Structure formats: C-alpha cells, structure tokens
Amino acid sequence: MVDFDFKRLTAYLKRNLVGMLVVATIYAGVGLKLWDVQKDQEIESKRLAQERVVLNDLKVEFEKEKASSSVEQAKRDLELQKREFLIARTDEEIAKQQIELGTREQSLLDSTQRLQAGQRLLSQEQVAASVEEKIQTLMNEFSELGVSLDDNYFCLTGEYLKRYYSAKAKFSQIYTLAKANLMLGKYGDFIEQNKPQRRWYYCSR
C-alpha cells in the first residue's frame, strides 16, 4: 500500500515537476521582488524619517526665530511706549510751565499797571502840590507889591507903575495856573477880590 502511494507520488512529481519548478521560480521571484520592495520601503521610510527630522528642526528653528522676533517686537513696543510716555510727560511739563509763565506774566502786568497808576496818581499829586506852592508864592509876592489892579495905570508913574505891571503879571500867572489845573474853585475868592473891575482909557485927573 505504501509502495503504491510512493509510486503514485513519484509519478505525480514527474508529471508536475516542471510546473512545480515554475511555481517555485515564480514564488522565488516574487519573494525577491517583495524583498526588494521591503528594502525600498525601508529606504523610503528612512528618507521620510530624515525629512521629518529636518522638517522638525526647521519648525523648531522657525519657532525660535518667531519667539526671538516676538521678543524683539515686544522690546520695540516697550521702547516706543516709553518714548510716548516721556513725550506726553514732557508735553505736560511744557503746558504746566506755559501756564505758570502766563500767570507770572499776568501778575507782573497787574503789578506794573498798579505801579503805573500809583505813579500817575503820585505824579498828579506832586504836580498839584507844586502848582499850589507856585500859586501861593505868587499870591504872597502879589500882596507884597501893595498895589490894586483897579488903579488907573494911565495916571501911574515911576516905581509904583513898575509894581503895578509886576502885580498884573503875577495875577495873570495865578489865574492861568488855577484854571489849567482846575483850581479856580479853591482860589476863586482871591481872583475875584483882586481882578480889575474897571477899564481905563486915559488918566482922568
């Protein structure tokens, strides 16, 4: 029985040897091809892995540059903010100084105006005092001459005539000063009492 099976197997192998060799060759070729494909895949995997490493390195470098750029931008922004703050504070100081300067100028102007007003008032008082002193002196000199402006000067001669014209000149000065300085009310009595009441055309003696 065993011998029969062996013979049958031998006969089967003889009949199918070529086919089996072909199949074996095909499988061997396929195996080699698969091996080559696997090697190619391994090479491609290594290449892709290297590319991933390079890509990751590039990403890391990019992130570093991005972070560095962000830091630099933040520094520039901070510096800009500092400058803007300093400029704003400087503007505030300038505005404050301008206000203080304006206040000082106004205060100085007010003081100057008050001083000028005081000087004008003092000057007016001094002028008035000087005029009054001059009028009083003229009135005394007029009285010392001892003449009356109502005398008929056509009849006067010599020293008395000289004193008459001197008194007339002093009276004219008194009247002019009093009128120019609004003092007629104060010296009106003297003027009315001593002004000429008559008009002479010749000596009637």
Find the angle CA(74)-CA(78)-CA(82) to the nearest 5 degrees.
170
pLDDT at 153: 87
Phi-psi map region of 203: left, alpha, beta (phi>0 left; psi -120 to 50 alpha): beta
Domain coordinates in residue numbering, the chain: 146-194
Other C-beta atoms closer than 10 Å to the C-beta of 133 total: 10
What confidence tens digit (pLDDT) does each residue in 52-95 have? 788 788 888 878 877 777 778 878 888 888 888 776 786 777 67
Q: What is the pLDDT of residues 126-166, one digit of tens each?
A: 989 999 999 999 999 999 999 999 898 899 899 999 999 99
More confident residue, 49 or 20: 49
Q: How confident is the model at residue 17 (pLDDT cuts 50, 70, 90)?
A: confident
Task: Give the position of tokens 């062996």.
Answer: 6
Query: Please, which pLDDT band fits residue 111 given cuts at 50, 70 and 90?
Result: low
Contacts of 184 (CB under 8 A, 6+ apart): 178, 191
**pTM for the predicted model, two decimal places:** 0.43
Q: What is the pLDDT of residue 23?
A: 65
Do the Cβ atoms of 161 and 153 come closer than 8 Å?
yes
- Give the torsion sign (CA, 176, 194, 136, 121): negative
Q: Provide CB contacts within 8 A for 202, sequence distance 6+.
A: 154
Which of the given ranges, 8-12, 57-61, 153-157, 175-179, has the highest pLDDT on average?
175-179
CA–CA distances in Å: residue 160 to residues 12, 35, 167, 198:
196, 166, 10, 19
Q: Got the DSSP string for 111-176? A: HHHHHHHHHHHHHHHHHHHHHHHHHHHHHHHHHHHT--TTS-GGG--HHHHHHHHHHHHHHHHHHH
DSSP 197: -
